[in-house]
Amino acid sequence: MTASRTSSDVFRIDRREFLAGSSALAASLLLQKGGYAANVHRFQHGNFDISVVSDGFLMLPVEIVLPDAEPAERPDIMRRLGGTPERAPFHTNIPVIRTGSDLIVVDDGSGTHFQESAGKLSANLLAAGIDPSEVTKVVLTHAHPDHSGGTVKTDGKLTFANAQYFVSEREWQFWTDPNFEKVMPQALHGFAKGAQRDLFAVQDRLTLVGAGDEIVSGMQVLDTRGHTPGHISLQLAGGDGAGHEGLVITGDAVTSNVVFFEHPDWHFGFDTDAELALKNRKALIDRAASERLALLGYHWAYPGIGRAERNGAAYRFVAAA
Ligand SMILES: [Zn+2]
């Protein structure tokens, strides 16, 4: 898989096709537990009180979701993801974490910069009784449009006006490189414009972090590069009372709770460095299985919480909720 496959062109879905495909899916998602509504899943992990707030969902085409699958096995997997043979919904699970005097949001969704089925974070926060002005910290796992696109509102103001922002130093350097358009393929130029819009908007309140740094006590940055060159995940200390002594918020290090547990050697079509992403994805899932870590995945079936178990040479995802 080359970087050219990360073209934003695949998201320019014909509006009629999109509406036809998404209305049936939206109806089915509504029936799932909290899938697309403000019915917020809330749980405690150590000193962290976590609400998983949905930003809606994205529709991804089969060639991005399953580039390595045989044509004959694709339709069944796409159906298990809740989709059609051509497209499947990817949820967007945003952890909103209370700890001490902080209220922390991990990724701020699509805003108005991506598909119409996403960008619901602000509405769902409101419905859940969470005031955006109380958010003290926003951590961006990376600066793709479905993760940082909610940074600035349509009126130009910040969604989280009182928050400090955190992104990895590598991510900042990658997207804000003045020579980006000269050195990176054209397919990524649109994403770079969006990333620059979001990152420059919070430049005066941005902390650049790296592996091992703590956002707050007990919330540590993990280097999970590959999906983007500066992608990070977060590991939260403490137990959940069920024998899991850590929780990893994966971001897009693992983009599906079905595909990459069952097929850890398959690539994902939106990884900037597909081989590095695969290596780090597999290592994270394997460590989660060994250490019985709880996992929270951004694009996994809502609320995206569970753990990894070994299953022969692969893994299986065991949902916690
Ligand atoms: Zn994503």
Mode of pairing for the β-strands spanning 294-297 and 246-251: parallel
Look at residues 153, 229, 259, 242 and name the one whose alpha carbon lies nearest to residue 198: 153
185-213: average pLDDT: 97
Distance of alpha carbon 5 from alpha carbon 129, whole angstroms: 39
pLDDT range class, residue 4, cuts 50, 70, 90: very low
Per the prediction, the chain carries an average pLDDT of 89
Cα of 39 vs centre of ligand 1, distance in Å, is 22
Distance of alpha carbon 259 from alpha carbon 278, whole angstroms: 12
pLDDT at 261: 98
Torsion of CA 14, 3, 171, 306, to 10 degrees: 70
Cα of 253 vs centre of ligand 1, distance in Å, is 9
Choose the CATH number for 3-319 among 3.30.950.10, 3.55.40.20, 3.30.830.10, 3.60.15.10. 3.60.15.10
Distance of alpha carbon 254 from alpha carbon 252, whole angstroms: 5
Cα of 231 vs centre of ligand 1, distance in Å, is 11
pLDDT at 115: 82
Cα of 146 vs centre of ligand 1, distance in Å, is 5
Cα of 157 vs centre of ligand 1, distance in Å, is 23
Cα of 187 vs centre of ligand 1, distance in Å, is 17
pLDDT range class, residue 9, cuts 50, 70, 90: very low
C-alpha distances out from residue 278 to 112, 169, 191, 212, Å: 30, 21, 21, 21
Cα of 81 vs centre of ligand 1, distance in Å, is 16
Cα of 298 vs centre of ligand 1, distance in Å, is 7
pLDDT, tens digit, 9 for 90 and up, residues 78-137: 999 999 999 999 999 999 999 999 999 999 999 988 888 999 999 999 999 999 999 999
Cα of 57 vs centre of ligand 1, distance in Å, is 10
Cα of 8 vs centre of ligand 1, distance in Å, is 13
pLDDT, tens digit, 9 for 90 and up, residues 226-275: 999 999 999 999 987 777 789 999 999 999 999 999 999 999 999 999 99
Residues of the chain with pLDDT > 70, as a percent, come to 88
Cα of 300 vs centre of ligand 1, distance in Å, is 10
Distance of alpha carbon 250 from alpha carbon 284, whole angstroms: 9
pLDDT at 244: 76
182-210: average pLDDT: 96
Cα of 311 vs centre of ligand 1, distance in Å, is 26
Domain map (residue ranges) of the chain: 3-319
pLDDT at 292: 93
Cα of 58 vs centre of ligand 1, distance in Å, is 9
Cα of 190 vs centre of ligand 1, distance in Å, is 15
Cα of 245 vs centre of ligand 1, distance in Å, is 26
Distance of alpha carbon 35 from alpha carbon 175, whole angstroms: 32
Cα of 29 vs centre of ligand 1, distance in Å, is 18
Look at residues 243, 226, 223 and name the one whose alpha carbon lies nearest to residue 235: 223
pLDDT range class, residue 287, cuts 50, 70, 90: very high
